[in-house]
Amino acid sequence: MTGSSAFATLLRALTLVAVILMHSTPSSADTATDSAFRRQFGDGFFDRLWQLNPDWAIANGYYKYADRLVVPDDRARAARLEQTERWTSELHRIDPKKLSPNVRADWEMLDNEFASTRWALTELRAWQWNPAAYNVADPFALLTTLEYAPLEERLRTFLERLENVPAYYAAAKANVANPTREHTRLAIEQNRGALAVFGAELDAQIAGSKLAAAERSVFKQRLTAARASIEDYVAWLEALDGKLASGEVQARSFRLGRELYAKKFAFDIQSGDTAEALYERALAEKETLLSRMALLSDLLWPKYFPNAAPPDDRLDRIGQVIAKLSEQHVARENLIAAVKQQLPDLERWVSEHDLVTLDPTKPLTVRETPAHQRGIAGASIEAPGPYDPGAQTYYNVTPLDDLSPERAESWLREYNDWMLPILNIHEAIPGHYVQLIYANKSPSLVKNIFGNGAMIEGWAVYTERMMLESGYGGSKAEAWLIYSKWNLRTVCNTILDYGVHVLGMSEADVMSLLTHEAFQTEQEAADKWKRVTRTSVQLTSYFSGYAAILDLRERLQRTQGAKFDLKRFHEQFLSYGNAPVKVIRELMGAP
């Protein structure tokens, strides 16, 4: 081990100790019940959680069990269920009414997490009908890219995990029963991509390492077996897909249905509202946005169509102006470069306008989305967890290499020169990237680890509006029109997700909604249809979280009046980690 590697390892160890102390040391204000809660659900609780979920642990920067690959068989599920029941019993022996507000919020989040886990294992049972739930690639990829330890140590950890890959995929095949075609095809696509994690770059790392000859020999054997297991799973799925297509095997519908959807919404969103209520609010917000967009389009029409009379139909007028603005976009080959160029401008704007304090010590790297992660979204943030907050954060952008010229042009028109900055605000600055940095500094591991997706996505959506309110984009009508189109997409995410999974919207219905009423391109609408058939409830998190955050800000502005400070609001809000907005509202004392 070199001196620099030893120092890096020591620094990470000290960071881990500091994180544990920060999250587990009782404060002087703790009640006796608070202290009992922290003891029961402190270090020992999380250590057992990571034993059962080593892949999740790696994603959070906890590497103690990184050499373990859990085989997803009946025994593993039984162990998770048994432990969940035990934790639930222990949690309910603590009276939440005797806890301080901050700790009571942790109690409520754990109660929701345990109930959600039990429900997912016993009622939702996606482990049976979703073949895409099985993919070993991501934790292995993290072990090769996160430099938390010297290369040889990480490769030995990788080698230990490799041993169970054949058993993992054997269990996956045994689990899959009555799958959906959509998830079967996603599993084929992503597991094909998984092979890249075990390909040439890994071979080069092994060749350049100081592993002993015996270790290299075992590596070769296990890698060969792992690759063969993945290829076998893909081939098995391809044969299964053929049977599903022909009707030889009955396919399960990807639609959850009203009962499962309502329960999943309650567990995942944690807003206190029903899925149906959010759907109704989204319909009303859609009309509000269209009215605003009509006014903006009327204002812009003479500028872009000076010699033409506007059509009478409101949607046609809006659509023609948006189509004209969409002609301005980056070249296909310059997409990732353009994303990289915009991030420093966003950083400067946020700092100069005193919107939220940024941390220049936390690195952000823009890269192509790894092959095994493609098939859901075109852009995403992959951030380190609270145990290794100094690790690299990646902004994944999917290149357009596999698209035809027509489909690529459709995508680029959607993410035109007015839209691409909004995407970067959402994913990076001051959206997901900034929020997740703050989350890693939260004194509550519970609020961080068991993060609420609606809060996380809601913050990213909220920052889009907040940036334009601060003057970003020059306060131009064009910027507000394209932002309104983007915000309309957020609203329509809820409409189509509930509509598809509960009300039975068809693909034609979705395409009409998104292209005619939400002005999305054919490619974007087709991608969204694919996404809604492969996910459920997640698409509602954007509007749910955004609406709740905006409501909270407006409540505090009314009660605080001239004393309201926007930056202070942002930083206090972010200080509670990834807690549900409903919890944060209570902790901030909002009426």
Which tokens go with 216? 């290299």
Rounded to an integer, what distance in angstroms lies between the CA atom of residue 477 and that of residue 506?
A: 34
Backbone angles phi, psi at 396, to 5 degrees: -85, 125
- Read off the pLDDT of each residue in 518-541 and give the average, rounded to a whole number: 95
Q: Which helix (H) or strand (E) holds 494?
A: helix 477-501
Indicate whether 446 belongs to any domain: yes
For residue range 156-171, list pLDDT tens digits in order: 999 999 999 999 999 9
Indicate whether 8 belongs to any domain: no
Least confident of 198-202, 283-287, 381-385, 586-590: 381-385
Same domain flag for 220 and 335 = no
**Over 70: is that where the pLDDT of 212 sits?**
yes
Q: What is the largest distance, in Å, between two alpha-carbon atoms of the chain?
A: 78
Same domain flag for 235 and 276 = no
Same domain flag for 283 and 148 = no
Per-residue pLDDT at 25 = 47
Contacts of 259 (CB under 8 A, 6+ apart): none
For residue range 338-387, list pLDDT tens digits in order: 999 999 999 999 999 999 999 988 878 898 888 767 665 678 888 777 88
Rounded to an integer, what distance in angstroms lies between the CA atom of residue 187 and that of residue 261?
A: 22
Q: Work out the pLDDT band at 523, boundaries 50, 70, 90.
A: confident
Contacts of 313 (CB under 8 A, 6+ apart): none
Which tokens go with 10? 């020591």
**Over 70: is that where the pLDDT of 7 sits?**
no
Same domain flag for 455 and 527 = yes
Q: Of 58, 91, 124, which marks where a domain is finished?
A: 124
Which tokens go with 571? 């930083």
Q: Work out the pLDDT band at 23, boundaries 50, 70, 90.
A: low
Same domain flag for 180 and 206 = yes
> In this structure, is the dihedral angle defined by the CA atoms of residues 261, 263, 268 and 274, taken in order, positive or negative?
positive
Per-residue pLDDT at 175 = 98
Same domain flag for 209 and 274 = no
Indicate whether 171 belongs to any domain: yes
Same domain flag for 36 and 118 = yes
Rounded to an integer, what distance in angstroms lies between the CA atom of residue 422 and that of residue 269?
A: 24
What average pLDDT does the structure give for the chain? Answer: 92
Same domain flag for 467 and 556 = yes
Same domain flag for 219 and 295 = no
**Over 50: is that where the pLDDT of 2 sits?**
no
**Residue 29, burial from CB neighbour count under 10 angstroms (0-12, 13-18, 19+):** exposed
Same domain flag for 533 and 444 = yes
Same domain flag for 389 and 372 = yes
Is residue 416 within 8 A of residue 325, CB to CB? The reply is: yes
- Read off the pLDDT of each residue in 453-464 and give the average, rounded to a whole number: 97
Q: Of 91, 124, 157, which marks where a domain is finished?
A: 124
**Over 90: is that where the pLDDT of 3 sits?**
no
Per-residue pLDDT at 30 = 65
Indicate whether 2 belongs to any domain: no
**Domain limits for position 521:** 268-587
Task: Report the number of distinct structural domains present in the chain.
Answer: 3
Per-residue pLDDT at 15 = 46
Q: Tally Cβ neighbours within 10 Å of residue 234.
A: 19
DSSP secondary structure letter of residue 395: E
Indicate whether 251 belongs to any domain: no
Indicate whether 6 belongs to any domain: no
Which tokens go with 226? 């792992």
Same domain flag for 194 and 334 = no
Contacts of 24 (CB under 8 A, 6+ apart): 38, 42, 43, 445
Q: Of 124, 153, 183, which marks where a domain is finished?
A: 124
Question: Tokens 């603005």 sit at which residue?
Answer: 325
Q: Work out the pLDDT band at 31, boundaries 50, 70, 90.
A: confident
Q: Tally Cβ neighbours within 10 Å of residue 200.
A: 8
Rounded to an integer, what distance in angstroms lies between the CA atom of residue 57 and that of residue 135?
A: 16
Q: Work out the pLDDT band at 138, boundaries 50, 70, 90.
A: very high
Indicate whether 278 belongs to any domain: yes
Indicate whether 414 belongs to any domain: yes
Angle separating helix axes 74-92 and 43-52, nearest 10 degrees = 160
**Using omega within 30 degrees of 0 as the cis cutoff, is the peptide bond preceding 363 cis?**
no
